Structure 1
Amino acid sequence: MTTKTPASGMPTPLPGAGTNWRTRGLCRDEDPELFFPDTAADRRAALAVCARCPVRERCLAEALAEEGGRNTHGRHGIRGGTTPTGRQKLHSRTAKTAT
């Protein structure tokens, strides 16, 4: 699934994209706790799953859209192959380029 980037710079789902992309996510076969890591090793394991995932970009687009401008305390877990800090930096970068 691809996304469009409006003038705001934030990716948005394409019309009709729906949420069925989740059924193709590799995370569906993993323990959900893996994506809320306590250790660096767990974080690397979660990111490795995301790196192979065919819907990683769609997952990241949804995470960014849902989280908006929240700081890292409002972001949780590994989503779309990124950590909460990584998503905050990505959001800040795209927000700056949109202005």
Structure 2
Amino acid sequence: MSRIGGVSPLPVSDDLAGDWLDRLWAHEDLAPAPVAPRERKAGAACAGLDPEMFFPEASPMAAAPLREEREALAVCADCPVQSWCLAQEMNECSTASRVIGVRGGMRQVERRALHVRLFGKRARNGVQQ
């Protein structure tokens, strides 16, 4: 474990078959949304799906969700960890601008609006916007 934040360092490997982002999935503390190992264990609907599916081009608030967003939202619709996933997103993002993609059954523009309602426009944790 590292002394900073209790996160273990990434293992060094000679296997360069996957890129660095692919290797992050094996580390619970570093895995990008939406599928961290604890979500997979809880039976997340997105487990095993291509993560790129959850990062489509964002539509504006007033517009209907784009086809790609609707596909990702359909996966989230009956997910048993949907509310946990949304709560994690709100806790992990220090600014609304860091909220991206579809997660927790909401599209990017909806979650950004929720983040602003919950935390205001000021950055949390001293992060600059």
Aligned residues: 76
**Unaligned runs of at least 5 residues, structure 1:** 1-18
Q: Which has the larger radius of gyration?
A: 2
Q: Cα RMSD (Å) of the superposition?
A: 1.9
Name the aligned partner's letter for residue 96 of structure 2. Answer: N
Report the equivalent of 1:27. 46
Higher helix share: 1
TM-score by length of 1: 0.66
Q: TM-score, with normalisation over the residues of structure 2?
A: 0.52
Task: Tell which has more relative contact order, 1 or 2 (C-alpha 8 A, sep 6+).
Answer: 1
Partner Cα distance (1:25, 1:63) in 2:
15
Deviates more, 1:56-65 or 1:87-96: 87-96
* Deviation of the 1:93 alpha carbon: 1.8
Q: Give 1:8's aligned residue.
A: none
Higher strand share: 1
Please list every run of at least 4 consecutive aligned residues from structure 1 whose deviation after the TM superposition is greater than 6 angstroms.
none
Q: Where does structure 2 lack aligned partners over 5 or more consecutive residues?
A: 1-36, 59-65, 121-129
Q: Paired residue for 1:42? A: 68
Match of 1:60 among 68, 74, 86: 86
Change (3 A) 1:30 1:21: closer
